Amino acid sequence: MEEKKKTVIEVRDAKKVYRMGQEKIKAVDGVSFTVEEGEFCCLLGTSGSGKSTLLNLMAGIEKLTKGEIIIKGKSIGKMSENKLAKFRQDNLGFVFQSYNLIGSMTALENVEFPLVFKRVPAKKRRKLAVEMLKNVGLKGRMQHKPKEMSGGQQQRVGIARAFVARPAIVFADEPTGNLDSKTTIEVMDMLKAMARQNNQTIVMVTHDRKLTEYADKIINILDGKIESIEIQANSKEGKFPEYEEPAVPDKKAEKKGKDGKKSKDKTSKSGTKDTAVPNTGDTGQSQGAGGFDLAYETEKLEAAAQKLLDEEKAAKLAEQGESQAGAEEIKDGFTEFVKDDKSSLE
């Protein structure tokens, strides 16, 4: 299998230092390696070893303290914010441990979301999203909102969303971290099968040695450094689910189209992001500052959600009130955005 593989990611002496008052934390401490096209690469290490930081550096979410990261021949550290946002949108997909689906949107809308920001026309968008959801065995759940689905189903939506725009590279940070062992295997199978189908590259963070059976390359991380790199010639291949979720009566079909009022987003569970996202308006080719970028925004949303959870308890009800307002805003923004071609959204 020693074909002439093309390098898609090159990490050169990457360093990330966090300053905590007087203390310096070397989260990533001089790391170099490459990831080849179509490779399933695992970053493996214990908690706190620097895996997520490294992944975030590779995805351009965190800034390097030192070193260089080259993706598809471009040094991402040298790009402006706008360029980087556009680059991410064109080349990268993301799968998160807590799914990061937008709580006020259906499965279908969540999968369409990245395509909206890529200005893909409505009909095509819908077609692609439906196809993806069928692939992940969720044909019968397209109109479900995240909290009406199990964790495994939500992550399958997350995978469909990550792959729908056919990114060259998909980054996944502990994508099965919140799932039971049976669902973990289903999700891993799907992730691998999905990537292999179009020769897409995966970089996945995990602390779970078992999951590396799917990996072509394992980067062992310890204290911010690479301990060893393993190549696996016969990694476990994945498969798409041969079953389909049973179809359920489509309640949304009856109240067709607008109003969106009916849904009562009572809780803001982890994994759903009932928080405001900036509306792109309808001129927005430009990303960055005023634009929407899923990677950045979900990161921010994640942080915001965590803060909410921390502060929660006593102020629970009040905060949920805010979340509700945020959810409505997203929904309105989305509806606004697609309204010119809504005939094809039926």
Ligand X SMILES: Nc1ncnc2c1ncn2[C@@H]1O[C@H](COP(=O)(O)OP(=O)(O)O)[C@@H](O)[C@H]1O
Stretch that binds ligand X, among 1-9, 18-26, 179-187, 313-321 (CB under 6 A): 18-26
With respect to ligand X, which residue has the nearer C-beta, 18 or 344? 18
Give the interface size with Mg ion as a residue count (CB under 5 A).
1
CB 205 to Mg ion: min, Å: 6
Is residue 89 close enough to count as binding Mg ion by CB under 5 A? no
Look at residues 7, 41, 62, 4 and name the one whose alpha carbon lies nearest to residue 226: 41
Say how many C-beta atoms besides its own lie within 10 A of residue 1's C-beta. 7
Q: Which of 31, 44, 49, 129 binds ligand X (CB under 6 A)?
A: 49
Structure tokens at 18: 């966090």
Question: Is 209 an interacting residue with respect to ligand X (CB under 6 A)?
Answer: no
- Which of 31, 52, 120, 137 binds ligand X (CB under 6 A)? It is 52
Closer residue to ligand X, CB minimum distance, 56 or 263: 56
**How far is it, in rounded angstroms, from Cα 59 to Cα 85?**
10
Nearest CB to ligand X, comparing residues 112 and 174: 174
Task: Please name the helix (run of DSSP H) or strand (run of DSSP E) that holds residue 26, with its range, or none.
Answer: strand 23-36
Task: Rule CB under 6 A: say whether 257 interacts with ligand X.
Answer: no
- Give whole-number Cα distances, 328 to 24, 230, 240, in Å: 41, 47, 34
- Decide: is 52 part of the binding site for Mg ion (CB under 5 A): yes
Q: Give the distance between the most distant pair of CA atoms in the chain.
A: 61
DSSP-based three-state secondary structure for 205:
strand
CA 278 to chain centre: 18
Contact 30, 3 (CB under 8 A): no
Q: Out of 3, 4, 21, 47, which residue is the one contacting ligand X (CB under 6 A)?
A: 47
Q: Would you say 122 and 342 are in contact if contact means Cβ atoms under 8 Å apart?
A: yes
Q: Which range, of 46-54, 132-140, 240-248, 290-298, touches Mg ion by CB under 5 A?
A: 46-54
> If contact means CB under 5 to 8 A according to the sort of partner, which of Mg ion, ligand X, none does residue 285 touch?
none
Q: Does 98 bind ligand X (CB under 6 A)?
A: no
- With CB under 6 A as the contact rule, the residue among 1, 20, 317, 318 that binds ligand X is 20
Give the start-end residues of each E strand in 167-316. 169-173, 201-206, 217-222, 225-231
45 binds ligand X (CB under 6 A): yes
Helix axes 107-117, 294-311, angle to 10 degrees: 130
Please say which residue, 57 or 187, places its beta carbon nearer to ligand X: 57
Helix axis angle for 122-135 and 151-163, nearest 10°, is 130
Under the binding rule (CB under 5 A), the answer on residue 110 touching Mg ion is no
Interface with ligand X, residue 184, by CB under 6 A: no
Contact residue for ligand X among 9, 14, 50, 151 (CB under 6 A): 50
Q: Is residue 178 involved in binding Mg ion (CB under 5 A)?
A: no
Q: Which does 45 bind (CB under 5 to 8 A by kind): Mg ion, ligand X, none?
A: ligand X
Q: Which two tokens stand for residue 13?
A: 């002496």
The minimum distance between CB 23 and ligand X, in angstroms, equals 9
Give the one residue of 51, 126, 156, 331 binding ligand X; rule: CB under 6 A. Answer: 51
The identity of residue 134, as a single letter, is K
C-alpha separations of 338 from 54, 111, 112, 258, 341 in Å:
36, 14, 11, 12, 6
Strands 40-44 and 217-222: parallel
Partner from ligand X, Mg ion, none binding residue 48, C-beta < 5-8 Å depending on class: ligand X
> CA nearest 303: which of 26, 121, 56?
56
N residues, the chain: 346
- Contact positions toward Mg ion, by CB under 5 A? 52
- Contact positions toward ligand X, by CB under 6 A? 18, 20, 25, 27, 45, 47-53
